[in-house]
């Protein structure tokens, strides 16, 4: 089968990760979670005493951590300097600082380069999920999907994932992070002009997966 590159962008809580992983597994493609890479570099900054609110400090340290992503959709991994970072990158501390770190242009240049080399090395094709994949990282992707959902639906999904969190607080945090990710100068969260928008508010995860799989299969058949 032809190699295919699929870019899946959108804000958090739209089902991006679950959809991307399932689509990649179903179609035998590799999978890359680019948010995990931004979280990993943020975690490294926090554990190495870099002030994440100081863009100059973040920029000068950006090249130090070695971030490695495993791209098997059934077992995605992420390490920083050889250490398993899958757990620590999901803490509240990292989540609250990741927008600031990922807005620093030097960080984006490095991580974007890493993402492009991973996509180029994925022989059978890859599903890459993030915020700027269709617009900046892989503008020549074979298929671009932009997932959306109402803030209420997104907050409900996210608080379902995080034990003990309340929906109203999650909704506020989510809206704040989206605003920061959408308004930053360097490659903000945005829908590419040639992306297919899928509103997941009223859809089950299974329906979203089927919709994206169909879009990929149509693309492969056409091209």
Residues of this chain that interact with ligand DC (CB under 6 A) are: 12, 34-35, 38-39, 98-99, 102, 130-133, 177, 181
What is the CA angle 31-36-38, rounded to 5? 125
Cβ distance to ligand DC smaller for residue 109 or 220: 109
Tell me whether residue 117 or residue 214 sits nearer to ligand DC (CB atom): 117
d(CA 209, CA 179): 27
Least distance CB 125 / ligand DC (angstroms): 19
For 12, residues 6+ apart whose C-beta sits below 8 A from its C-beta are 35, 154, 158, 174, 177, 178
CB of 221 to ligand DC, least distance (A): 28
- Min dist CB 1 to ligand DC, Å, is 26
Cα 69 from chain centroid? 12
CB atoms within 10 A of CB 152: 12
The nearest distance, CB 91 to ligand DC, in angstroms, is 12
* Closer residue to ligand DC (CB): 20 or 61: 20
Nearest CB to ligand DC, comparing residues 8 and 27: 8
3-state SS assignment for residue 4 = strand
> Shortest approach of ligand DC to residue 196 CB, angstroms?
18
Compare residues 98 and 147 and give the one whose CB is closer to ligand DC: 98
Instruction: Cite the DSSP H helix spans in the chain.
Output: 16-27, 34-47, 55-61, 92-102, 105-121, 151-161, 167-183, 205-222
């Amino acid at each position: 089968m032809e190699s295919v590159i699929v870019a899946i962008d959108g804000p958090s809580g739209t089902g991006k990760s679950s959809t991307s992983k399932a689509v990649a597994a179903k179609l035998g493609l590799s999978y890359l979670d680019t948010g995990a890479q931004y979280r990993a570099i943020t975690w490294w900054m926090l554990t190495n005493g870099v002030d994440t609110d100081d863009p100059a400090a973040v920029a000068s340290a950006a090249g130090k951590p070695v971030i490695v992503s495993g791209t098997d959709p059934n077992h995605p991994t992420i390490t920083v300097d050889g250490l398993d970072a899958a757990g620590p990158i999901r803490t509240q501390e990292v989540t609250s600082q990741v927008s600031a770190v990922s807005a620093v242009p030097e960080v984006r240049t490095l991580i974007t380069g890493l993402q492009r080399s991973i996509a180029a090395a994925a022989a059978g094709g890859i599903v890459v999920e993030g915020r700027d994949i269709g617009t900046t990282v892989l503008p020549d992707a074979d298929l671009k999907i932009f997932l959306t959902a109402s803030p209420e639906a997104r907050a409900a999904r996210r608080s379902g994932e995080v034990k003990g969190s309340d929906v109203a607080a999650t909704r506020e945090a989510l809206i704040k992070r989206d605003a920061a990710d959408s308004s930053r100068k360097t490659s903000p969260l945005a829908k590419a002009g040639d992306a297919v928008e899928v509103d997941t508010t009223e859809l089950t995860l299974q329906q979203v997966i089927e919709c994206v799989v169909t879009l990929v299969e149509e693309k492969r058949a056409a091209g």
